Amino acid sequence: MPTESKVDVLVLGAGPAGLMCAQGLKRAGVNVRIIDKRPKKVAAGQADGVQPRTIEVLQSYGLAERLLREGNQMHMVRTGRTADITAPSARYPFEVTLHQGAIEAIFLDSMRELGLEVDRPIIPTALELSHDENELRDPQSYPVKVTLKHLDFGSEGQDDTEIVYAKFVVGADGAHSWVRKTLGIIMDGEQTDYIWGVVDLIPSTNFPDIRNRCAIHSSNGSCMIIPREGDKVRLYIQLSDKDVVVDKATGRVDKEKTKVGPEELLEVARKSFSPFTIEKAGEIDWWTIYLIGQRVAQKFSVHERVFIAGDACHTHSPKAGQGMNASMNDTHNLIWKMTYVLRGWADISLLRTYEFERRKYAQDLIAFDKKFSALFSGKPRTEECQDGVSHEAFLEAFQTFGAFSCGIGIHYSPSSIPSMPNITELKHQSLTSHQTVGMRILPHVFVRAADARPFEIQDLLPANTKWKLVVFVGDIGPGKIKQIERVAKLADDLGKSTGLLKRYEDGVFEILTICATVKECLNYTDLPEVLRPHWSRVLLDDVDMFGRTGGKGYDIYGVDPSQGAIIVVRPDGYVGTVTPLEGVKDLETYFDTFLIRTL
Ligand SMILES: Cc1cc2nc3c(=O)[nH]c(=O)nc-3n(C[C@H](O)[C@H](O)[C@H](O)COP(=O)(O)OP(=O)(O)OC[C@H]3O[C@@H](n4cnc5c(N)ncnc54)[C@H](O)[C@@H]3O)c2cc1C
């Protein structure tokens, strides 16, 4: 008899999407299990670029420090000696490159500390979803039955199957997702003609820009250089369909029949590098050849009980370094929503916003990738080929799409779908003219009122599943009577016995108060108690003791110090809405659409 068990969330696949999901849920105290078919984690190669927004997200879970220590940083692109990142508000204005195995290790080690390991090697063999409407609506039911097969159970008589009943399942099982196929979810889009070889090596070269991201766009073919951790470099080499045999049934490169190996890839690269030279200094670390599909799944979930995330629901080219980033950010979007539903804090319809937000993002990503790929793979403009792609056109495209490709430009839109709560509310957007609702909270340094210690605000808004009310109270220094009265009224509104802070489960909200008053003119105790739940939660828009950091924060967010505003930050760091200090009623209306009231 197979063993049977129950779990709140079963994550299938322990790549970047699955690991992000499992660590975030575990951190939130959710009963989660994660399985993978591989006996061991990825050792080398695969994805390697971590974009600025993803670094911010990892930091919000306390995971960025190791990434920054172990990874390489790309600050400059060779073309025009421009910045690698074109989003000036990026807290980390560079990309980190580190192989996927090392990135997965960061997650695995943090999960281990929380008492969670990946169960492997295991595959799912059957997935059944209940048709019972009541069961599907009840977040505490277990409507998904998954049969698992342990691939390492070899001894006779040992039953290698297992049944797991789950409240929710996340299919994070990669581009050839079993979960997606089992659910019958169709991918829209097509396989492209772009075939890429990838080689990771330590080079011996006289190419002066080997430690910058470069695109070599020559009539001998295109090649992209990505500097990596240590002395390693990755080369993306464009191949033609004459070089590669594609298995028509799977759409994958047939590695048996394809005669191109790492040496041949390096030979193609040499032609692009000419007149410079490139040789390997030692063994090739990792290599692959793969075909690019530009596809998005038609649905990202079935009945909001089985979800797909990461490559399972979108695939695109590797050049702009998006795959791993998009994948981790998918499940970052899902973690808090699932946690709220499982805790009984939010209505299950909140989970619909996952597909709404992440599918739109994936579609934008494919549109971006199509433009970028065509430019990259097109012939360079020369005397003979006037229709070719000029370096200027390439550079312009790179800068136009810069904010989007580094993740900083991710922008979640309001929805008007009746069955789904609208978690992006724009009514008072004008109060924060530089902080766009639907985008991530801008980073900035403020000084703590109690002890003048400077803090990056993003570090005070971690991914701890709480909603943050960031209250810009304006200038409440001596003589600012009108503003002080407005703040006192806000405190009364917030503190009402049936008000915002009392009507949902304890622990939904955290308050952070930011005063446009200099340190000489304010004690943190001047604030009403509800706006200073702890001495550390009052900040000043002021410089530190030596004037080296901080200040001008109200300008950064576009908040008028004589007005103030409340910026509502979602648990994943995106701004859900903005209201005036008199807007507590609006906040109640906003949260009532998806949080379950206890009063
Ligand atoms: C060979 C290869 C080379 C790549 N090269 C690059 C590159 O050069 N640059 C780049 O940016 N991106 C590259 N990618 C893509 C990049 O790795 C992905 O975009 C990124 O890893 C997506 O993360 P994910 O978690 O969604 O999926 P994946 O990283 O694919 O993880 C899926 C996980 O699910 C597991 N799994 C799959 N099927 C099952 C199953 N039936 N049961 C249990 N577990 C299962 C897998 O073992 C894997 O651990 C490459 C991918 C591959 C496969």
Length of the chain: 599
Asked if 166 and 142 count as a contact pair (C-beta separation under 8 A), the reply is yes
Asked if 162 and 3 count as a contact pair (C-beta separation under 8 A), the reply is yes
User: How do residues 307-350 score in pLDDT, each as one tens digit?
Assistant: 999 999 998 877 667 889 999 999 999 999 999 999 999 999 99
Say how many Å lie between the CA of residue 328 and the centre of ligand 1.
12
Active site residue 48: yes
Question: What are the structure tokens assigned to 140, written together?
Answer: 């505490």
Question: What are the structure tokens assigned to 64, written together?
Answer: 């960025």
Given the residues 8, 36, 48, 572, the one annotated as active site: 48
The angle at the Cα of 225, spanning 194 to 218, to the nearest 5 degrees, equals 65
Say how many Å lie between the CA of residue 147 and the centre of ligand 1.
22
The angle at the Cα of 421, spanning 417 to 422, to the nearest 5 degrees, equals 80
pTM of the model: 0.94
Distances (CA, A) of 40 to 22, 35, 117, 285, 532: 17, 11, 12, 18, 48
Strand-pair partners of 213: 77
Active site residue 262: no
Q: What CA–CA distance (Å, rounded) separates 326 from 338?
A: 19
Q: What CA–CA distance (Å, rounded) separates 185 from 312?
A: 10
Q: What CA–CA distance (Å, rounded) separates 492 from 528?
A: 9
User: How do residues 411-457 score in pLDDT, each as one tens digit?
Assistant: 999 998 999 999 999 999 999 999 999 999 999 999 999 999 999 99
H or E, element range at 145: strand 144-150
Residue 377 has pLDDT above 70, yes or no: no
Distances (CA, A) of 326 to 63, 221, 486, 558: 17, 28, 42, 29
Say how many Å lie between the CA of residue 363 and the centre of ligand 1.
19
Residue 147 CB less than 6 A away from ligand 1: no
pLDDT-derived band at 214, boundaries 50, 70, 90: confident
Residue 18 CB less than 6 A away from ligand 1: yes
Specify burial of residue 144 (Cβ count, 10 A radius: 0-12, 13-18, 19+): buried
Residue 4 has pLDDT above 80, yes or no: yes
Residue 12 CB less than 6 A away from ligand 1: yes
Residue 26 has pLDDT above 90, yes or no: yes
The per-residue pLDDT for 519 is 95
H or E, element range at 395: helix 391-400
Asked if 16 and 103 count as a contact pair (C-beta separation under 8 A), the reply is yes
Asked if 494 and 536 count as a contact pair (C-beta separation under 8 A), the reply is no
